[in-house]
Structure 1
């Protein structure tokens, strides 16, 4: 995985076609120049990839204007949801058949194979997806959990904690085990860790109207804002 800092944001290359290959948080700290956008595009186009940019509504207008002049098109939207946390918040009882536990030593690849399937579709996840997941868990303050039924791993999810904020990410459930409360159990475990760690806010992204969004809203998350995903193909 390669990461380049541009105009206060990050351009991330996590492999060709990876959903994590994108630019984000650009323009949140001030005006963005044409040279900044040139550098951002070079990080994508130099690898033969389309430029995929997640634009926050709080970004400086100069960034959006530059993307418009360059012919970017809207490829989708992502809701960003938040949940204020209190140390004494009540928790919904878990489904007894689902065990959620932190991943153990030597279980990184097992976790990656369970979760990466959510990002690459059916079949065996390619090595790039496994590497992407392992890289994410290598970040500071990242923790991962496996959800198991009858001892069999059926889902997983991660949480990244920084400055009192817990970002829930990378959650997935294997198709045969969906609609059985696995995601609710993973939410429960990760939010409990966030509270124990002194966090006062949890956050996560979700496709508008998706099952992921509905699961989060059942836990009390509410939409803070919606981000646009803009794309431009290499010339």
Structure 2
């Protein structure tokens, strides 16, 4: 199937959002099991999605996947808002534009403000092969080398690429590292390191869940950018996902970013956009 004919209906969006919700919820659960987490986290089901809180300032603190299992009642929103207020956190809702349209209007009426967007891109995998730059070697390493991988990914995230719109969030290195570690402790994540000129240059992850290959965690060290590192990481993961009989690959990017450009160059198409709406604690 060509990129031009990939139509994303609400069922496909719901399938992706369910997968994403499960990943975030499991990441929160992994963090709560760590002794240093101190407790206080939560996940709460709401309208097919989940309200998640992993700890102060965590990137996992958000309401995800909502709107594909009905429209939340006022009482449900009030309960979620109280839960976040009790831990002194804003409520951040990532709302797919293919979710029930009544939800956006309700959130606006409740005082949420639109702060940014993120794009979800996807691609059918059957019958395709992706070439990789020969100047970059990509290794899958699920058992060892976690600290090296984590350092590279956190370094890349801490120095975002300046192409496209700026990221709507910025996290301290230690909090970002904790969130990345928790997301990779759920048992469904494969890690990849890219080497260029013999040096670790970039890292990424692949999750294969219910036929969906979710590509995430991609970051390149600043000195190795524009050298084919992300292209190599994308190609390796797509080829492995296709070989594992995944039918759909998805990736989330900032609108207009270098990551989005790289993904579309590999055959991804824009499926839908998430609006990020935020309500500060009372």
Q: Shared fold by TM > 0.5?
A: yes
SS in 1 for 2:92: strand
SS in 2 for 1:27: coil
Deviations 1:94-144 (A, max 9, x none): 22221101125332222111112344448xx73332221121112242211
Q: Distance in 2 between matches of 1:147 and 1:14?
A: 29
2:185 to 135, 138, 154: 138
SS in 2 for 1:153: strand
Matched-pair contact (CA < 8 Å) for 2:215–2:249: yes
**Displacement, 1:90?**
2.9
SS in 1 for 2:52: strand
TM-score by length of 2: 0.76
Identify unmatched segments of 5+ residues in structure 1: none
Deviations 1:174-219 (A, max 9, x none): 1111100000000011111111111011011111111111010000
Give the 5 Å matches for 1:151-166. Answer: 151-166=198-213
Q: What is the aligned partner in structure 2 of residue 101 from structure 1? A: 139
2:200 is the counterpart of 1:200: no
Q: Distance in 2 between matches of 1:38 and 1:58?
A: 23
Q: What is the aligned partner in structure 2 of residue 185 from structure 1? A: 232
SS in 2 for 1:227: strand
Matched-pair contact (CA < 8 Å) for 1:72–1:232: yes
**Structure number having the greater strand percentage:** 1
Q: Distance in 1 between matches of 2:66 and 2:256?
A: 26
CA 1:45–1:8 in structure 2 vs 1: closer, same or farther (change >3 Å)?
Answer: same
2:121 is the counterpart of 1:81: yes
Q: What is the aligned partner in structure 2 of residue 230 from structure 1? A: 277
Q: What is the aligned partner in structure 2 of residue 71 from structure 1? A: 111
CA 1:104–1:59 in structure 2 vs 1: closer, same or farther (change >3 Å)?
Answer: closer
**Displacement, 1:17?**
2.8
Q: Distance in 2 between matches of 1:210 and 1:90?
A: 24
**Structure number having the greater helix percentage:** 2
Q: Distance in 2 between matches of 1:57 and 1:15?
A: 28
Comparing 38-47 and 147-156, the one that deviates more: 38-47
Identify unmatched segments of 5+ residues in structure 2: 1-27, 29-40, 161-171
CA 1:121–1:22 in structure 2 vs 1: closer, same or farther (change >3 Å)?
Answer: farther
**Displacement, 1:42?**
2.9
